[in-house]
Amino acid sequence: MKPFPALLDEFLSTLTVERGVADNTLSAYSRDLRRYFDFLKENGLSSPEDVSLPDLQSFLVRLRGSGLTPRSVARAISALRTFHRFLAGQGYVQRDPTSLLRAPRPPRSLPSVLSGDEVERLLGTPDVSHPRGLRDRAMLELLYATGLRVSELLSLPLTALDPVVGFVRCLGKGGKERVVPVGSSALRWFTEYLSRGRPALAATRDTPFLFVGRGGGRLTRQGFWKSIRTYAGKAGIHRRITPHTVRHSFATHLLEHGADLRSLQLMLGHADISTTQIYTHVSQTRLREIHEEAVMSCPVHPLERPLGQCEICNQEVCTLCLRHVPTPLDFECYSCGNMGTIVLYEALRHRPPH
């Protein structure tokens, strides 16, 4: 049988050619499997044929003890399963030990999002009097207007965005192309960047990429992450912010303003709509917080507040407070969890103020 490095190269090539796996996934799988090969060698296992279920379980115990997050461990398990299935499919081994491997799913945490005010402060932070600041403003605007992944944003060719029609064409995971509409604010800053920013940055180099660094070179993800953290600090946002935070904010804010889940799935490039559904939980959690804040700060005495009533549980709510709460179509009653509050909210919109 081929040595481990040769098997890994063949495996990664197959993922690239036949499945169109993204570069980031390939890099992650490569790291996970090299760590796995080192573990096998340390334990005297020179061939994948010799690997048993207890060996796999021991490897997972080591991963968990090394301080990896549950999500990283889950990704490593996915790499192991895919690799061993590949070996069995190619006839290198007779059995797949990962077929009996059971691992708990990592807890699914709600993504962190920015408020509307935080987004406005973040977008307004770059110094647009300089080419680099103009580029960063255009990138942030486009990131929030489209919800692109950072790898998709940095890979955009010069011809990707059509300012006349108002859409951007990008390649997502697995090489799948999608078209996403772009708002007027992002289009304005994109035009400013093309006319005043990019010519100065790419003056000495011919590059096909839309967003370029100093000297016309391609920007890196790490460099853009650092820029966003710097801008977040200047904007008074004192928590961990990444480009994906802006993507999460784009999706959550769209849902809060009435976008449907299917359209959001297409814009985000999710293969499965269940991935998109996580944003419905973020939206509803935030609405509960807004409602509680509105109730606590309501200037009217509790006994004098105009009340409405949920048609399901008859819970009374202050209509004065509710007038400040946005209303998605799938939001439920704070008290009983049923969907009947939609009728109440729609009625309140037309009720004259007291």
Residues annotated as catalytic (active site), given as ranges: 149, 173, 244, 247, 270, 279
> Which token pair is 136?
């960063």
Q: How far, in Å, CA of 228 to CA of 144, rounded?
A: 12
Q: Looking at this protein, which amino acid is placed at residue 260?
A: D
- Cα 61 from Cα 65, distance rounded (Å): 6
The encoded tokens of residue 299 equal 């200037």
Using the structure block, give the residue that is written with the tokens 């009435």. 258
Contacts of residue 16, Cβ cutoff 8 Å, sequence gap at least 6: 26
b/e string for 204-237 if b means 16 or more Cβ within 10 A? eeebebbbbbeeeeebeeeebeebbeebbeebeb
Which is nearest to 79 in space by CA: 136, 37, 129, 47? Answer: 37
